[in-house]
């Protein structure tokens, strides 16, 4: 029996009856609730589940899984719905398991610089909890995503160039398997050679192997000094050259973000700013007072050699927050360039030495399109995004956008990069997984078969249909 294309699912009604007995009013079949849980922020159509469960503990999640497993009903985990590759659509119906009610910070250890949280805790909630400890959690994908969702998509974001992705900031997970078994993947030690690395097996699995319910995270000390800046460049090549030279000089940047000229126009309009409508780098420096000053002076000099100008500095927290909020608002800002559009996004990542070439060739592709599109991204680690704004009623525009998107993905893979640096596979990138991993996909399918032989866990996501 294939875990990717199961022979059949069972009728959902008996499972719903059993779940209602377990959860009472925390099991909903209301149309509005189901539709809310049938889409994320991608352009994929709404595909609602048959019911939505709202468990409040790992034990309840395990019982939900047992019931669904007994009745052969699909299980779709749901966090905050901020994914962008069609991760949460109920392609075969089933039960969405909304983990937002599991939002307790279980433990914080300032001595060990770690914390254990439930899957529904959001990154902003966690950092608010840490405010008086001198610690923070650095992974910042922009949206106020749930920690469980960030684990499931192996999220990263603006701070990844210095602090790494979710995979680099995990110590252990609590995971509920499809049949209700509960697995703890590790302890709190900073390293271990004990057996297979189950923590990272479930990280990035997008709910296709199990339901992540608790996470033990690495925390980091707040830097003594922080400074942010924004700098304009004559073109994207000049901006990316500055990024590469900065990294080659050994400057440990906290953030290095690119926005192209059209994205800057959109951001100005959306956020009430007045930056020049040219490509910009958004920069942030962490360290000691003297270290931050030295780093900033070096990067400013490198930028100047590449035509960078109009440096605007933000030292106070409120000014830095305003600057980074403008960067985080880039996606909704871009959508306002064409209200009512259907956005197509990509998030390829390439070796930093190939980044300028990849963006340059992508720019040529975008200039041939009749619809607006923007480039932005986490260029400090070679990851960039394209947002193509299509008329949802134009089959021609959508087809052309998909063709350009595929060309961008193939280009990144041919440069020994990846089809997705942080968004994950979901439905949107399935077609490219085998090209990237080859026979490795068969290994992934074998793992899926072993852990989920009935194919109930978030079916239709990540793995391609069997050849």
SS3 track for 119-188: CCCEHHHHHHHCCCCCEECCCCCCCCCEHHHHHHCCCCCCCHHHHCCHHHHEEEEEEECCCCCEEECCCC
Domain match, 131 and 150 both = yes
In this predicted model, what pLDDT tens digit does every residue of 51-75 receive, in sequence order? Answer: 999 999 999 999 999 999 999 999 9
SS3 track for 324-383: HHHHHCHHHHHHCCCCCCEEEEEECECCHHHHHHHHHHHHHHHHCCCCCEEEEEEHHHCE
> Is 453 contained in some domain?
no
Domain match, 317 and 343 both = no
Structurally, the chain folds into a number of domains equal to 4
Residue 344 lies in domain: 333-435
Q: At what angle do helices 289-305 and 236-248 cross, to 10 degrees?
A: 140
> Is 303 contained in some domain?
yes
Give the CATH number of the domain where residue 324 resides: 3.30.70.2190
Domain match, 360 and 428 both = yes
Give the CATH number of the domain where residue 65 resides: 3.30.43.10
pLDDT at 1: 42
SS3 of 259, please?
Answer: strand
> Is 442 contained in some domain?
no
In this predicted model, what pLDDT tens digit does every residue of 272-313 receive, in sequence order? Answer: 999 999 999 999 999 999 999 999 999 999 999 999 998 888
Residue where one domain finishes, among candidates 100, 117, 136: 100
Q: With contact defined as beta carbons under 8 Å apart, do 145 and 205 qualify?
A: no
Domain match, 237 and 268 both = yes
Give the CATH number of the domain where residue 407 resides: 3.30.70.2740
pLDDT at 322: 86
pLDDT at 325: 86
pLDDT at 188: 95
Residue where one domain finishes, among candidates 55, 78, 100: 100
> Is 446 contained in some domain?
no
pLDDT at 3: 46
pLDDT at 2: 44
43 DSSP 8-state letter: S
**pTM of the predicted structure, to 2 decimals:** 0.93
Domain match, 232 and 312 both = yes
Domain match, 325 and 232 both = yes
> Is 461 contained in some domain?
no
Domain match, 431 and 337 both = yes
> Is 447 contained in some domain?
no
Domain match, 272 and 299 both = yes
In this predicted model, what pLDDT tens digit does every residue of 368-410 receive, in sequence order? Answer: 999 999 999 999 999 999 999 999 999 999 999 999 999 999 9
> Is 33 contained in some domain?
yes
Distance CA 345, CA 388 (A): 6
Domain match, 194 and 86 both = no
Residue where one domain finishes, among candidates 41, 67, 100: 100
Domain match, 291 and 337 both = no
Q: Which residues of the chain have pLDDT under 50?
A: 1-4, 6
> Is 1 contained in some domain?
no
pLDDT at 466: 65
Domain match, 267 and 207 both = no
């Amino acid at each position: 029996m294939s875990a990717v294309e199961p022979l059949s699912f069972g009728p959902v009604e008996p499972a719903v009856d059993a779940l209602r007995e377990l959860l009472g009013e925390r099991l909903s079949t209301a149309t509005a609730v189901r539709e809310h849980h049938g889409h994320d922020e991608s352009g994929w159509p709404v595909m609602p589940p048959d019911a939505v469960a709202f468990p409040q503990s790992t034990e309840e999640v395990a019982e939900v899984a047992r019931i669904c497993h007994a009745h052969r009903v699909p299980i779709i985990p749901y966090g905050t719905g901020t994914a962008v590759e069609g991760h949460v659509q109920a392609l075969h119906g089933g039960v969405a398991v909304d983990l937002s009610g599991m939002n307790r910070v279980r433990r914080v250890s300032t001595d060990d610089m770690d914390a254990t949280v439930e899957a529904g805790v959001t990154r902003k909630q966690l950092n608010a909890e840490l405010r008086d400890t001198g610690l923070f959690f650095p992974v910042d994908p922009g949206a106020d995503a749930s920690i469980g969702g960030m684990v499931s998509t192996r999220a990263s974001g603006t701070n990844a160039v210095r602090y790494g992705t979710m995979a680099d900031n995990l110590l252990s997970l609590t995971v509920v398997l499809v049949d209700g078994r509960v697995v703890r993947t590790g302890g709190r030690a900073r390293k271990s050679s004990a057996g297979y690395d189950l923590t990272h097996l479930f990280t990035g699995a997008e709910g296709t192997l199990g339901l992540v319910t608790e996470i033990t995270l690495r925390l980091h000390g707040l830097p003594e000094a922080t400074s942010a800046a924004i700098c304009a460049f004559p073109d994207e090549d000049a901006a990316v050259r500055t990024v590469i030279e900065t990294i080659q000089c050994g400057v440990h940047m906290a953030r290095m973000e690119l926005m192209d000229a059209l994205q800057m126009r959109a951001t100005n309009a959306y956020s009430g700013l007045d930056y020049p409508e040219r490509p910009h780098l958004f920069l942030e420096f962490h360290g000691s007072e003297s270290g931050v000053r030295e780093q900033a002076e070096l990067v400013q000099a490198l930028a100047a050699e590449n035509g960078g100008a109009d440096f605007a500095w933000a030292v106070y927290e409120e000014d830095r927050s305003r600057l980074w909020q403008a960067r985080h608002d880039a996606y909704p800002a871009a959508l306002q360039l064409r209200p009512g559009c259907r956005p197509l996004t990509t998030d390829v990542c390439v070796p930093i030495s190939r980044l300028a070439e990849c963006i340059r060739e992508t720019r040529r592709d975008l200039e041939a399109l009749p619809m607006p599109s923007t480039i932005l991204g986490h260029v400090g680690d070679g990851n960039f995004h394209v947002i193509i704004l299509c008329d949802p009623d134009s089959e021609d525009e959508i087809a052309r956008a998909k063709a350009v998107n595929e060309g961008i993905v193939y280009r990144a893979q041919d440069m020994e990069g990846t089809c997705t640096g942080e968004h994950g596979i979901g439905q949107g990138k399935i077609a490219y997984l085998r090209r990237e991993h080859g026979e490795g996909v068969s290994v992934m399918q074998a793992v899926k078969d072993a852990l989920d032989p009935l194919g109930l866990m978030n079916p239709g996501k990540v793995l391609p249909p069997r050849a």
